[in-house]
Structure 1
Amino acid sequence: MKTTLTESNIVTILGGGSSGFFNEMIDDVRSGDVLVENIATWLAGQSLTQLQVLNDLAKQHFLYQGITFNVYGDAQGVERTIPYDLIPRVLKGKQWELISAGCMQRVKALNLFLDDIYHQQHILLEGIIPREQVLRHESFLPQMLGHNLNGKIYSQISGIDIIRDGQGDFFILEDNLRTPSGVSYMLESRKISQKLIPELCEHQPLQGIEQYPQLLREILAENAQLTDPFIVVLTPGRFNSAYYEHAFLAREMDVPLVSSRDLWVENDHVYIKTVRGRQKVDVIYRRIDDAFLDPLTFRPDSTLGIAGLMSAYLSHNVVIANAPGTGVADDKSIYPYVDDMIKFYLNEKPILKNVPTYQCRYPEELDYVLNNMADLVVKESQGSGGYGMLIGPQASRQEIDKFCQLVREQPHLYIAQPTIELSVAPTLTETGIAERHIDLRPFVLSSPQRTEIVPGGLTRVAMKAGSLVVNSSQGGGVKDTWVTV
């Protein structure tokens, strides 16, 4: 017989109230939500030892599947399994509707921005974004000028990072349009939930995510605008930190996983050797950076790319996803202008807010940042993985002084934001259930015909108490994301 828990019981079971931050499962969903009540009831019936055994089984699953990531500078070694937290993150259907609409709106505007800057450059001529900031950007590729893409889609796969503040409001923290990663963690987290806690998964009104690989294949095919295009996943190789994901997606889509040794260009067409002979490649889902794509166009010392690939691409004989040159749009110094892009290209108000951002390239904003660095988060505009950033309230005076010097020397390379009190969620620790900070990365898929997003995304969790850095490369872990029907 099911035990009915009071709200105070649920708060106690979920480790709530101790941090003072917005707790998504307690302050938001509340005990009136049947799913949260069921999770709390299930947790109440488990001992700490039983929960830790389940988490250990999850770790073994990741190890068996070869799901690892890099933690640079970690004394335990560079390559480790991703920490997984058994307690899911819950989003209500109405919340997901807001998130998905905001993400799709944003990606549409960013794709139109990319098409604009490589063609008429209206947004630059109008002075909405400084011309030099775009045209002198290291990711701006002159080779893409005037090159038309099907449906003006540059970013077929986009990862949009979302946070919630102390009041539970959603904010866009970052756009990832080059080679966004983490979708394999999202899918594997759901598989683990279904395997280890089936009594919760099977009886909950959850929206599914298992359709992502097939949806990704359909979206890639639609960008080629061919009846049955030949698709490959291009990886830099097994030493890349995201290699597991490359192999995972290729396997799940039932397409070849290839490296530069498997492809060649002939008469501006890309080919692969198969058991049936030579096969023309129509779509390349690349997981290598622009600079390494083609040694004849970019870095001549690259052994990861294919000689002549850009010539084949610019001749419209192959689709590269995501398109070369998309990096301009996800730079942190361009991020503050996305609201303006939405208004300019879509004539709409932004559905999701940006975090207020100071651009150190501007003298008056630089002065403010230098004088208030102890209260701000300062980031390299091209930084990723939690590297190249300073969290002022958690930094020493020496660290702040060092960062001030770096910013003074090259102010155009840095932006700063107020320290957002990231929301927290119940998380299993060695001593029990406690609150840890989280974020969310939904994945948006775009083709000339449609924009799609699977319900959920990758929830990343800072496994260290008090840490605001959720990146796996910095020791963060992952949670399954449950979106209710």
Structure 2
Amino acid sequence: MSSTRARYSAVDGAIDPLPDYAPSGGEFDEVIAPDGSVRPHWREFLDGFAALPEAERDRARGMAARLLRENSVTYVAQGDPEHRDRPWQLDLFPLLIEPSEWKAIEAGLIQRADLLNRILGDLYGPQTLLKAGKLPPSLVFGNPQFLNPCHGIAVPQNVHLHLLAFDIARAPDGRWWVLSDRTQAPSGAGYALENRLVASNSLPGLFAASNVQRLASFFARFSEHFLSLSRHDDPLAVLLSPGPGRTTYFEHAYLARYLGYSVVEGSDLTVRDDRLFLKTIDGLKPVDLVMRRVESEYCDPLELRTDSLLGVPGLVQAARTGQVVVANALGSGLVESDAFLSFLPGLCRHLLDEELKMPGVASWWCGQPQERAYVLDNLDRLIVRNVTMPKTILGPGQDRFIGAELSAAEREALRGRIGREGHKFIGQEPVALSTTPVWLDGQGLRPAHMTLRVYVAATADGYKVMPGGLTRVSEASISQAPLLEQSNISKDSWVLSDEPVDTFSLLTAPHNALRLRRGSRDLPSRTADNLFWLGRYAERCEGTVRLLRSLLTRLHGESDLAAHPVALDRLVKLLVAQEHLSQRRARQAVAGGMGAVEAALGRVLFGRDTPDGLVSILGNVRRTANLVRERLSEDTWQILMELVETVEVSGPGDSLNVDEALQLLDRMIRNQAALNGMIMENMTRAYSWRFLDLGRRLERIRHMVRLIRNLAGRGDPEATGSLGLLLELADSTMTYRTRYKAVPRLVAALDLLMADETNPRSVLFQLNAFETHMSELPSDSSEAIISPIQRIATELHATLRLADMEALAGQSRRDKREKLERLTHKLEEGVKELADLIARTYFSHSMPQHVSGPQWVEMPS
């Protein structure tokens, strides 16, 4: 045992909580003091942690991993061309900050937020700082984040920065330093909130005993103040997102759901007569407040970047006339530039008559001769950044250079760039980061370097700091801030309290009168489109799973099936009918016999390169669910993720194991049943539910008529067993047996599956549900004639009700039932027409228009 550990045990008489933890010398460690003792505010937590049995620790880690997986907490790695979702990594061992130290952090960051807000107000207003020589004009006008069209725009209560963040770190002497200011649209607050929820649920005893300050009231105060800026009662607030596939789209949906805002994209909004509107299925709805996650310059292709596909033409004018409040204000990314760092101490004295309470990293802007000369003379030890590069989610811009790691040739090339374009570069002193324990599987506790992102929000009482933040730790022996930008391991940050903590829960703020409602009519057209397709894909998934299960059961349940090519051909044709196999592959499978058919089923089940296979369908379910995540409850979301991950977790072996495949398909059927139950029993009967269910109903008709045509359209389905398979695939075997107590007969089966209004699987049942939904959706009541959708639905409904089942079951010529085939084709074509008409009526105006030009690369934070 080291002297440090012995000293701790001797003083406290406790189990050594950190037996293998050995911080390196010369750096500040958050837990261990320079004399080897444990810092006082850590002792109670460490005692509790040391007392946890190993089984309890394993349970906590397992729960954390499960919660992150179930909640699909992901991010997209910066620069990943495939925009793949990666799992968020949370180290359960928290960062603890004592109350007195936190008060100093709060005071410093509130002062800094106020200062940056005043600087923005001046630079986009009277520009007295430029006139007085406090800032060089080239620093402002040479910065691409200074947006001239935004100059002169008045903002409510002079608040430009509604939510901002600061990346801070502790130097070896124990002082906190600001590494970076985040004023554009800071990311990570949602991840910090998720970290808190996971950590507090995984280590509930330690969390409760530590008296940790809560986070919910911070978001409540931010939202209450933001909503109060609207000129209208009951304002409509939206979160403007660049869309899925971006680095932090998970957080956009997460925060929107938590705050009660709608997630929208630029194509969901339009400006009319200087007023911003949301395109909904019920017409245009005025938008009062926009919390943007899109960089300012991309927000309006009319006045800002003309090649942007992400913004709303006219948004700047709407803000200029005061018709909409944008947070943060357009152009606020200007002071995010690290070029301002070296000027902040003087600006603080000039504007606030105070010294900066929390210093920034020593920086030299190369746009000034003396500072440029200093940077060039010390290029071998400084860190150089291009301040015109946008900042990424968790770190400054991509274009940065660590002088000590450059070759002589690289250093000379950089020297030339600084000489030619000095205003684009700053030099900074390297910052040696403090260390804190990380708790990794199989490795115990080890020291890792860390930074902390802290969030500040404008409230009715001025700026307030979120008591905690997003702590990031290094994956390896990284001691400098620039390299830590590449890490994706985070921690929860526990700010301790000397007083009882509030247990505030985020509820509707009472700043104005609450108007009672029944449902919400503010459903964006794009969201309705995605819900419609989520319903279609979810139903397609169920149909596919039932089909695969039945086919696998028959392949291995009938010993002589391999000797009957006709029977094999009948089963394979079902896969062709549902577009899971091409005609060519189907012929190859039948010709190859039992083994080839089994291999074909395996490809449909597990094949990742099969366009219409189960994996592809599940991918579409996941994709559309991600697009409407804020519209789904947590339970519904978890059931959906269990469903889509079933095949991913199981995966194929070297060959198809039929027993395991059947167990997997049974599990998927149960998940699908749970999902259907959540949709039918837990979703309010608002537009969201109606479009989701509309998709399900149309897809079920499509699936059912294809089954009927292929299993009952020719030959003798009663003798071949096709009729029994048809009833099984329609989940109607028990109903038939209970009703008729006889072997399946075609006329009765057709009536049950096509025209029985009491059977939830019948075609007529789906048409009835479709017409009910359409009667509740918005329509032009001034029209004297029925709409095309109503006309087609009414025609299909009448045709099916008038159909003679005896006539449909009768054979005509060539062993075919031509009347049945014509009816099923008419129903399938009708479904296609209805889907197209719904899209044109409710969804088409939400599609973005194509604008040529370079594409936006990545959303800065």
TM-score normalised by the chain length of structure 2: 0.52
- Give, in angstroms, the shift of residue 395 of structure 1: 5.1
In structure 2, the partner of 1:162 is 168
Q: Structure 1 residues 43 and 394, CA, compared in 2 at 3 Å: closer, same or farther?
A: farther
Q: Is the 8 A contact 2:299 2:311 kept in 1?
A: yes
In structure 2, the partner of 1:304 is 310
- Give, in angstroms, the shift of residue 14 of structure 1: 7.1
Q: Which protein is richer in strand relative to its size? A: 1
In structure 2, the partner of 1:36 is 42
Q: Which amino acid is the alignment partner of residue 358 of structure 2?
A: L
- Give, in angstroms, the shift of residue 131 of structure 1: 2.1
Q: Name which of structure 1's ranges 261-270 and 175-184 shifts more when overlaid on structure 2.
A: 261-270
- Give, in angstroms, the shift of residue 65 of structure 1: 2.1
In structure 1, the partner of 2:185 is 179
Q: State yes or no: 1:463 paired with 2:469.
A: no
What do the CA deviations read for 1:406-434 (whole angstroms, capped 9, x no partner)? 43443221111111211111112452311
In structure 2, the partner of 1:101 is 107
Q: Of 451, 455, 466, which residue of structure 2 is paired with 1:443? A: 455
Q: Structure 1 residues 77 and 284, CA, compared in 2 at 3 Å: closer, same or farther?
A: closer
Q: Is the 8 A contact 2:179 2:360 kept in 1?
A: yes
Q: Is the 8 A contact 1:16 1:23 kept in 2?
A: no
Q: Structure 1 residues 396 and 431, CA, compared in 2 at 3 Å: closer, same or farther?
A: farther
Q: Of 335, 352, 371, which residue of structure 1 is paired with 2:358? A: 352
Q: How many Å separate the matches in 1 of 2:52 and 2:406? A: 38
Q: Is the 8 A contact 1:13 1:44 kept in 2?
A: no
- Give, in angstroms, the shift of residue 271 of structure 1: 1.1
What do the CA deviations read for 1:278-334 (whole angstroms, capped 9, x no partner)? 321100001101221111112222221111111111111000111111122111111
What do the CA deviations read for 1:393-413 (whole angstroms, capped 9, x no partner)? 455556545544543443221
Q: Is the 8 A contact 1:379 1:415 kept in 2?
A: yes
In structure 1, the partner of 2:773 is none
Q: State yes or no: 1:209 paired with 2:215.
A: yes
Q: State yes or no: 1:250 paired with 2:256.
A: yes
Q: Of 398, 401, 414, which residue of structure 2 is paired with 1:390? A: 401
Q: Name which of structure 1's ranges 9-18 and 202-211 shifts more when overlaid on structure 2.
A: 9-18
Q: Which has the larger radius of gyration?
A: 2
Within 5 Å, give how 1:269-418 maps onto structure 2. 269-274=275-280, 277-383=283-389, 384-385=391-392, 386=395, 387-393=398-404, 400-418=411-429
Q: Is the 8 A contact 2:278 2:287 kept in 1?
A: yes
Q: Structure 1 residues 55 and 471, CA, compared in 2 at 3 Å: closer, same or farther?
A: farther
Q: Structure 1 residues 458 and 185, CA, compared in 2 at 3 Å: closer, same or farther?
A: same
Q: Structure 1 residues 100 and 10, CA, compared in 2 at 3 Å: closer, same or farther?
A: farther
Q: Structure 1 residues 69 and 58, CA, compared in 2 at 3 Å: closer, same or farther?
A: same
Q: How many Å separate the matches in 1 of 2:409 and 2:79? A: 20
- Give, in angstroms, the shift of residue 364 of structure 1: 3.1
Percent sequence identity is 28
Q: How many Å separate the matches in 1 of 2:415 and 2:97? A: 39
- Give, in angstroms, the shift of residue 66 of structure 1: 2.6
Q: How many Å separate the matches in 2 of 1:361 and 1:400? A: 19
Q: How many Å separate the matches in 2 of 1:263 and 1:415? A: 39
Q: Name which of structure 1's ranges 165-174 and 464-473 shifts more when overlaid on structure 2.
A: 464-473
What do the CA deviations read for 1:1-39 (whole angstroms, capped 9, x no partner)? xxx944697684472433531001222896463x51233
SS at match of 1:26: coil
Q: Structure 1 residues 79 and 180, CA, compared in 2 at 3 Å: closer, same or farther?
A: same
Q: CA RMSD in A?
A: 2.8
Q: Which amino acid is the alignment partner of residue 91 of structure 1?
A: I
Within 5 Å, give how 1:81-96 maps onto structure 2. 81-96=87-102
Q: How many Å separate the matches in 2 of 1:396 and 1:434? A: 32
Q: Structure 1 residues 463 and 336, CA, compared in 2 at 3 Å: closer, same or farther?
A: same
Q: Structure 1 residues 75 and 296, CA, compared in 2 at 3 Å: closer, same or farther?
A: closer
Q: How many Å separate the matches in 2 of 1:135 and 1:231? A: 32
Q: Structure 1 residues 340 and 448, CA, compared in 2 at 3 Å: closer, same or farther?
A: farther
Q: Name which of structure 1's ranges 439-448 and 466-475 shifts more when overlaid on structure 2.
A: 466-475
Q: How many Å separate the matches in 1 of 2:270 and 2:37? A: 57
Q: Is the 8 A contact 2:170 2:176 kept in 1?
A: yes
Q: State yes or no: 1:474 paired with 2:480.
A: no
Q: Is the 8 A contact 2:17 2:50 kept in 1?
A: no
Q: How many Å separate the matches in 1 of 2:80 and 2:288? A: 41
Q: State yes or no: 1:190 paired with 2:204.
A: no
- Give, in angstroms, the shift of residue 379 of structure 1: 1.6
Q: Name which of structure 1's ranges 13-22 and 286-295 shifts more when overlaid on structure 2.
A: 13-22
Q: How many Å separate the matches in 1 of 2:62 and 2:99? A: 31
Q: Structure 1 residues 232 and 254, CA, compared in 2 at 3 Å: closer, same or farther?
A: same
- Give, in angstroms, the shift of residue 50 of structure 1: 6.8
Which runs of 5 or more structure 1 residues have no equivalent in the other structure?
A: none
SS at match of 1:303: coil
- Give, in angstroms, the shift of residue 236 of structure 1: 0.7
SS at match of 1:62: helix
In structure 1, the partner of 2:134 is 128
Specify which structure has the bigger relative contact order, considering alpha-carbon pairs within 8 angstroms and separated by 6 or more residues. Answer: 1
- Give, in angstroms, the shift of residue 188 of structure 1: 0.9
Q: Name which of structure 1's ranges 332-341 and 15-24 shifts more when overlaid on structure 2.
A: 15-24
Q: Name which of structure 1's ranges 387-396 and 422-431 shifts more when overlaid on structure 2.
A: 387-396
- Give, in angstroms, the shift of residue 366 of structure 1: 2.5
Q: Of 430, 453, 475, which residue of structure 2 is paired with 1:419? A: 430
- Give, in angstroms, the shift of residue 127 of structure 1: 0.8
Q: State yes or no: 1:223 paired with 2:229.
A: yes
Q: Of 18, 28, 31, which residue of structure 2 is paired with 1:22? A: 28
SS at match of 1:442: strand
- Give, in angstroms, the shift of residue 123 of structure 1: 1.3
Q: State yes or no: 1:115 paired with 2:121.
A: yes
Q: Name which of structure 1's ranges 380-389 and 436-445 shifts more when overlaid on structure 2.
A: 380-389
Q: Is the 8 A contact 2:270 2:276 kept in 1?
A: yes
What do the CA deviations read for 1:36-59 (whole angstroms, capped 9, x no partner)? 123322443458897566445434
Q: Is the 8 A contact 2:215 2:467 kept in 1?
A: yes
Q: Name which of structure 1's ranges 467-476 and 156-165 shifts more when overlaid on structure 2.
A: 467-476
Q: Is the 8 A contact 2:139 2:367 kept in 1?
A: no
Q: How many Å separate the matches in 2 of 1:470 and 1:55? A: 29
What do the CA deviations read for 1:56-90 (whole angstroms, capped 9, x no partner)? 54344333323222334789995422221111111
Q: Which protein is richer in helix relative to its size? A: 2
Q: Which amino acid is the alignment partner of residue 428 of structure 2?
A: Q
What do the CA deviations read for 1:196-243 (whole angstroms, capped 9, x no partner)? 111100112211112333233113113335443211101010111111
SS at match of 1:25: coil
In structure 1, the partner of 2:612 is none
Q: How many Å separate the matches in 1 of 2:167 and 2:51? A: 34
Q: Which amino acid is the alignment partner of residue 104 of structure 1?
A: I
Q: Is the 8 A contact 1:110 1:341 kept in 2?
A: no
TM-score normalised by the chain length of structure 1: 0.91
- Give, in angstroms, the shift of residue 467 of structure 1: 4.4
Q: Name which of structure 1's ranges 112-121 and 172-181 shifts more when overlaid on structure 2.
A: 112-121
Q: Structure 1 residues 472 and 219, CA, compared in 2 at 3 Å: closer, same or farther?
A: farther
In structure 2, the partner of 1:58 is 64
